[in-house]
Amino acid sequence: GAVVSQHPSWVICKSGTSVKIECRSLDFQATTMFWYRQFPKQSLMLMATSNEGSKATYEQGVEKDKFLINHASLTLSTLTVTSAHPEDSSFYICSARDLRAEAFFGQGTRLTVV
Amino acid sequence: DAKTTQPPSMDCAEGRAANLPCNHSTISGNEYVYWYRQIHSQGPQYIIHGLKNNETNEMASLIITEDRKSSTLILPHATLRDTAVYYCIVRVGGGNAGNMLTFGGGTRLMVKP
């Protein structure tokens, strides 16, 4: 199957700082990427849909000014958590669709805000 | 997308078949059944999907009932590395339809020696 690479796999940052997470489709072009968040012992919750060359679509309750999404190319989407707080600590996962519309997931990024 | 119902947890002995059920009684005619699994602290991994016929690949088999209201994922010879949360997802497949995947609670499969 197609490969989606997410970086970094884990990050620790201080409260108030910003963190950028990258999601790359390595062997296919992805016009659409998705960002999910997963808290401990819970299921994945969709945060936003990232469309190449246009603004992201955010799910209800997700602050677009806090979770900045950029999808500047067909192989890269980034999620920036701005002014991070401890409650933003979570497992962030990206997903990309290939031309067959099948979804492939990155390995996830564990963010810890201290 | 149709909602799915799965048991929250199951145990399976190593080397035995693991049969994971999923109910999707409100499935529509153009919706596929997808299975993903998530091993602890990793992203979800695609397993298999189907529309109405039974499907088999190197990882698993998918059995869909004739009325399509339920399905079963079968891992023929479970190993300890199959311990994970298994998600059954129903969505419209293909093209631009069925963009994102909506995850329910899944089934936490514990394979025991």
Chunked into runs of 10 residues, chain A (114 residues) has average pLDDT values of 90 97 92 92 92 89 95 92 97 86 88 97
pLDDT at B97 over 50: no
Residue of B46, B98, B102 lying closest to A101 (CB–CB): B98
Q: Which residues of B touch A44 (CB under 8 A)?
A: 38, 44, 103
Note the pLDDT of residue A39.
95
Residue of A45, A100, A108 lying closest to B42 (CB–CB): A108
Note the pLDDT of residue B5.
95
The answer to whether residues A36 and B38 touch, using CB atoms and an 8 Å cutoff, is no
| pLDDT tens per residue, range B33-57 | 999 999 998 999 999 999 999 999 9
Q: Which of B48, B85, B101 to mutate to test the interface with A (most CBs of A within 10 A)?
A: B101
| pLDDT tens per residue, range B20-31 | 999 999 999 889
Which residues on neighbouring strands pair with residue A11, listed in sequence order? A111
The answer to whether residues A23 and A33 touch, using CB atoms and an 8 Å cutoff, is yes
Residue of B43, B95, B105 lying closest to A93 (CB–CB): B43
Note the pLDDT of residue B96.
46
Residues sharing a CB contact under 8 Å with residue B58, sequence separation 6 or more, in sequence order? none
Note the pLDDT of residue A114.
97
Note the pLDDT of residue A60.
94
Looking at per-residue pLDDT, the higher value among A99 and B98 belongs to A99
Rounded to 5 degrees, φ, ψ at A63 are: -80, 115
What does pLDDT average to over chain B? 91
Report DSSP state, residue B81.
G
Which stretch of DSSP H or E encloses residue B47?
Answer: strand B45-50
Note the pLDDT of residue B99.
59
CA angle B34, A10, A37 (to 5 degrees): 40
